[in-house]
A = this chain, B = another copy of it.
Amino acid sequence: MVFDTTDKELLEYLQQDCKQTNKELSNKLGLSVTAVYERIKKLEKAGFINGYVALVNKEKVEKNFTVFCHIKLAQHIQEYVVSFEKEVNKLNEVLECYHLSGDYDYLLKVLVNDMAEFREFMVKKLTTISHIGSTHSMFVINEVKHTTAINFENEK
């Protein structure tokens, strides 16, 4: 499938605001409405777009306490890895989890109401997962930047 500069530009616009009309997009891209429509469908069918979602204001819903947790497994055996990853996926306070290179095995982004809820999460949920060796928590003082949009600037 062809994936050209126009497609990248289109994806950038959709990553900014997916509710804008094809007419608006057609103006920005210099294409016809039909052409925009067909490009979007092409990108959707080819799997370039994982979905369209609403982004919620964390402060408004009182979920403004973000913590990054580094986690080390007790041992790096296949069984522990699989079971840990499965358990982590079930925790709804964990928005993101990455298997990392370096001193720690995993990095988790945890979102809760406040310190009290984080304590609850640590004691009753995270540390009850088996095979965890050690954890190290870092609290977010301030969110300096946060975007979900992948940038294609360097490829134009």
Compute how far the CA of A69 lies from the CA of B88 in the bound complex, rounded to whole angstroms.
23
Contacts of A144 in B (CB 8 A): 85, 88-89, 97-99, 106
- The answer to the question of A141 belonging to the interface, with a C-beta cut-off of 8 Å to chain B, is yes
- The answer to the question of A102 belonging to the interface, with a C-beta cut-off of 8 Å to chain B, is yes
B15 touches A56 (CB 8 A): yes
A interface, how many residues as a size bin? 35 or more
Partner of A95 from the list B101, B117, B147 (CB cut-off 8 Å) is B147
Integer count of this chain's copies in the complex = 2
- The answer to the question of A96 belonging to the interface, with a C-beta cut-off of 8 Å to chain B, is yes
The interface bits of chain A over 112-156 (1 if a CB of B lies within 8 angstroms of the residue's CB, else 0) are 000001000000000000000000101111111111111111100
A residues sitting closer than 8 Å to B (CB atoms) are: 3, 8, 11, 14-19, 46-58, 60-61, 63, 66, 68, 85, 88-89, 92-102, 104, 106-107, 111, 117, 136, 138-154
Additional pairs, 15, CB under 8 Å, beyond known A17-B53, A101-B138 = A11-B54, A16-B53, A17-B52, A49-B57, A50-B55, A92-B154, A93-B151, A96-B143, A97-B144, A99-B140, A100-B138, A100-B140, A100-B141, A101-B141, A104-B138
